[in-house]
Structure 1
């Protein structure tokens, strides 16, 4: 009866109950084993200071578990759980307590983040959010904390938290910036306590390049942060004992809301909330000047303190990702608008790369010194090296920069600390001498034609003037005929001139067309040239000079009519149709990197399929490592640069292509060397093109001691880590100068990777491992670094192998790595 009397009230109750079933509110500060948190559910600390739940930053479509201030109008996230592993659906994702861990399950119920506690406590744990912003995982039956977010900070340092150093392991704890304002993934800037124990805090770029320090702790403040001496809001404390050292702070007035943040700007900032203005107030930041942040503008970017925005690209470059730049993420830097000509033998003098002077700047970091006698030789050295991006010549001699230019800062005109460096740019598209000559011919012909018409008209008028004495009537009577004759004469003259002009235009078109097609085939697909089979026959002298070959191809040397040298790869047993073949080749043709061999074109006629590459005059790496006839013994510095440049090329294939590419066949035979011994990876992208299967891969390797990762044989899914494995095996050969599967040149039969890893782990004589032809002439630290990387690369489990993007900074000397374990598969080859 009550229901019938109050139908609207009854319906309201139904709606309310239904809503409660869809989004049940936890209305608590904790979550235990029998509860889950998903959708719009949140935990709220007991005093209502902080809130935990799913959030998506800015315009992002990704969701994260985070903690933010509950009572602040501007949503400010202070901690993120799954910062590098977002979920796409917050309603089906769940935060749960499972087996004594706090775990985040994505929409497929797969764990993407966990507290990762190894000691199991069954389900007798509860997660509690405190008013301090600290998230605790605690045993139910005691007050013992199993885990806390204050021990695992992300980008914000709250009062009561700590950024610590483990004094036993010397492992620092990092406060790391967001990638950009809409992506909480780990950025490039981080704060740490000096692992060497100097009580100083550092800010690092990429956890490798230190660009700021707070100075040592003097008992009250950090010596290089004077703001701390004037502080009346915060109580700073530094604690050090046998287990850990850390810096912490508290608020004198606990009603004030404040925190430190490692910002996307690369500066550590102290912020306080102003309720009256409803905004955050900056109390202090370090470093004070934005351009003091190392590589803030990325590769080939320039920082200018006197302009907004601070970052711009160097002349000839543009932002690699304008979207990221709009989000204050400049880490991607800038890319060339026009690619370098770079030792193209067919280039005319007007097509050579050139240098632009960049005055009044701070020079890029990590220059390499070159022993030359003058500025001209310095310029020439850089011009001849494709890897060289810029040079400078001053009282200290010649400096060159290879790869990205980092840390360039444009100074003001009155700054006396500015220097000048010279940036390599692509050749300007000026017409060459032949083009100018042809243009002049066309202009002259046009002028002659115009003058001819003018003279013909003048002659006609003069003849008519002479006949004026015949009389007016006769003149009038014949005027119509005269005009008709005049028109006929002008028409004839213009017709002749027009015909000559058309003929000249046709001749010029043919000349230009022949110049554009000479040695290039008959048609163009994208940036690739489609050669005819006869073109390649002529270029290779009917495929008479074979450079090498494998199980699915043969390579021949060729010369085009414009004298440029090419390498023609004849593909065998290709079952793809022409349309599919062209599609795959076009994809390969879009891939450009200084350490990848450039694909110039292709040929497909029936079953005949060819790829045309730039010719590498120094052949493949294996010929020099294993001392084939007429090869050059490589010095250690060259070998090390080959290792680094090859890693950069593989990193590009794995990380920076639109569709990442797994090479599947990394070995010295596929590392080619140009005129300056700059390495270029060959045969990338061929796996899909030739339908390479496991049995065919196996035939190209050298048995179990070759370059095959274990997963090839086990049959699991192939990932880029198979390239990492092959790269590691190749590194061992760079050190030893022999095949891993062959005995050493002094007669020893030790399996080299096992021997090398053992020597490094046990702290033995690493120079004993060197190729004997090097006569122990190598940098011990570099040799050790190479072997450590190689040993990590050939780990049995692919998850234990580093990625190429991790290997590059290690080889560059920015990062270090721990001693590796000897893989089980290598232990099988230990001599009995």
Structure 2
């Protein structure tokens, strides 16, 4: 038995924390907004509710399901420019206030509404967005379908359900310009870019899957003007439609770099206003464009309007307007409108006019259309002179208003642009400068020399900076190989062979992807691939330093690592039963764990943490204890993994100051002031114990609002004497041992006390779970601990904060 003698007297001490305020990191702000509602209900777009503001945008939430928020998005400077939309947000270190959001779906992008607009889910089941004058702006047209519920799920999908809980509409079927993880793009659907950064309406570029299952990107005005086409085919569904599903490592046939490690590392892909399809991921400073999905087939000059209308793109990426030979004193016909690379455009001085037939063809040498070869379906070869004369005689003959690009002069290729001759400004030949006086020439020479000197100096400084960065990186990689007790170092090619070119993916998450492999000796391994810089590299080094030198049965063994330039891979022992979350949160009966197995897993986790806190030369604080970081071997032995956020703490230190890190929902209240001890791990352990016993997530927004947060529900059930209601109902063995399960809940409550000093050490938790605390003098559970007794356990407590509980045992 895991419960020791004297268990009938333990209740008062364990549940004391549940009377204190709950300071969950992810609870306070987002809990103000539901993730689902039932009809009838309506919302008004006004300023009375709490808002999340930035300099350009006011976001008034209706639904929140982290990391997504759905509501009214309004431009600060334009009161009549509001969209009903969904954004993905990150916290920027001030979670959850002032989040940095990025819009990923909108209902009315081409028809914005003003302040006072109304969104209503009627009794008849119709969802309708009406402007302030009651004009219908948008509706999914579900009237008559018995719609009862509107929900934003944790994948960012807005859904409507009928009274039979059947989905009748979802936003995933109507994408705008973005896709989020687990969202599919199906043939017949398309992404359409915004017009510009500031203009949310549909723009010039589209992206979809064609009838052959290939990705295509094209000008929205003419689907034949392709500028991108993928070579391979995507998957075909049972209905015959092609589709591509976005994951952090892959989108259909396209491979993507992994998402950065860290709790803010959400990602999405978006067709931007300049025609690029990019993957974005969250960083500490905002959303960063991490990867261009077109870059393997397109250069910077291959986009239809990279230099605006009539602009010419050079191989260096600069833009210019077409012009004649200025040295001959001929005419120029185009003027530059804007010098910005993304807003560059050229305009003819005199537009083509059929009323004034004085036109000619301007030859622009060594240029070509910006479109690749597969985007020229409408063009054909012809005799040049016949083509020129035919165009001059036909007023409707004009060039496409696209960009052009420079090509090699050896190609002997020319482009002819039709221009209007009248009133074209003539450019005279360059004037010859008269001779200047000697003193003035000397000033020019001195000025040029000084300027050249500073330019050379800047170049030298820049090269020295690059070399120092390279040296620092080499020193860092060399340092990894000399860490005391460091595991084996692999080459990238060795791991590529071991994983069969990374073909067998075990899973993916905020860090990226994990692949199964086999070493030459036959040992099974799991290879975690990290990609990125800054926090990712620090996390990589922390993991090698921390777990590489530790050895305990309940810690996942780090077999080795690879550090080659930007490639960072960690090699672990293979855990065939995966992570704990898939065994306690999923309702597949084949994956349900019995009581004895769950009890052993809890003890295994406690032993692993006790070793980290008390069995190493320095204390190791894990800082990210959660079911996803608990792995199970073939015998369901639990092992703590993922030390990327861990911190070392000297044994003489009572606490440390560090930046906030970890996973919202598992973070202790003391994180609010960034001064922590190893007791933050014990708080997280208490959350995990509750999740194991109850068979549900700490935060589950699919449940009624009052049951969303497990700790709040736990507190309420304690006060009502109904803890048996929390025991996992999906397992008969858990129900038949409900009395023991409730006793184990006291361990969770003990670890979850609001005051960190009142939580036990992990070694004491292990003793209690093993039934080795028979001597009541060692720890008396029946009353708050006396200071002398607490001192023998190595920590201090505020006994005034411990209030007797109403729990007296199982009922």
* TM-score (norm. length: structure 1): 0.32
Higher relative contact order (CA 8 A, sep 6+): 2
* TM-score (norm. length: structure 2): 0.33
Structure index of larger Rg: 1
